[in-house]
Amino acid sequence: MTTLCPEYARAWLRRWDAQQERYVAERERRFEVVGDVLRHALADRPRPLVLDLGCGPGSLAVRLARRLPDARVIGVDTDPLLLALGRSAYPEVARFAEADLRRPGWTARLGLEEAADAVVSATALHYLPVADLAAVYEELAGLIRPGGLFVNADNLYDEQPAIAALAAAVRGERVGDGEDWASWWRAAGQDPVLAPLVAAREAGGTVEGDHRVSVAVHAALLRQAGFAQVGTVWQTGDDVVLAAVRQAP
């Protein structure tokens, strides 16, 4: 497990956050909305267990830990570089676990001794094709306690092409114009400290792209997996926060 200087890691994470604002409309507000949802839904849980799927370097996990100081937050990802940045920058606020959501049984790698109260994800699950996404939701059904919550904050699309184009245009008016994704990764690969982690990432098979799964398909897959109620709680263009409540007994 690679450990980096905390200040060094935090500097790269500030650059990561700025890069992400090129793609996510009102990114900090979106994080706040996820925190609002969890604070309301978990108000009666003294020490809730919250998982962040596809956590990357922990941008959402650390904000939730600060918003819900009594929560136990676990970030889940497979990227060695992003996990190293998160572990090094935020060792006191979250535990980071390595697991590949594309592999059946990934939940067993988390070492959990109890069901999760909530699972969240931000700007991550669009990497998964529908078949993998359905399998992830099926595993979540066995991971989240009855009455628990799943919250997905991501670019989710309308199935009507003209409406999808309008939503994309709205988002485009609200994003930044800083460093892009490719430039950030190119710089990381050229950094002598991070280059071995970038090489390990590439050797493991990077997961990129957008399968453009619609809100309707996400909702249908979640209901099939056992989530009783599913709906959008916030949206700016095609940046959507989708919430799903696990079927109660």
Return d(Cα 70, Cα 49) in angstroms, integer. Answer: 9
Q: Within 10 A of 142 (CB to CB), how many other CB atoms are there?
A: 10
pLDDT by 10s per residue, the chain, length 249: 788 999 999 999 999 999 999 999 999 999 999 999 999 999 999 999 999 999 999 999 999 999 999 999 999 999 999 999 999 998 888 999 999 999 999 999 999 999 999 999 999 999 999 999 999 999 999 999 999 999 999 999 999 999 999 999 999 999 988 899 999 999 999 999 999 999 999 998 777 789 999 999 999 999 999 999 999 999 999 999 999 999 877
| pLDDT confidence of residue 136 | 97
| pLDDT confidence of residue 207 | 72
Residue 153's DSSP bridge partners are 122, 241
Query: What's the start-to-end Cα distance of the chain, in Å?
Result: 40
Return d(Cα 29, Cα 25) in angstroms, integer. Answer: 9
What DSSP assignment string belongs to 186-218? HHHHHSTTTHHHHHHHHHT---------BHHHH
| pLDDT confidence of residue 24 | 94
| pLDDT confidence of residue 12 | 97
Please, which residues have CB within 8 angstroms of residue 23's CB and are 6 or more apart in sequence? 123, 155, 175, 181
Nearest alpha-carbon partner for 203 in 62, 80, 83: 80
Q: Model-level pTM? A: 0.96
| pLDDT confidence of residue 48 | 98
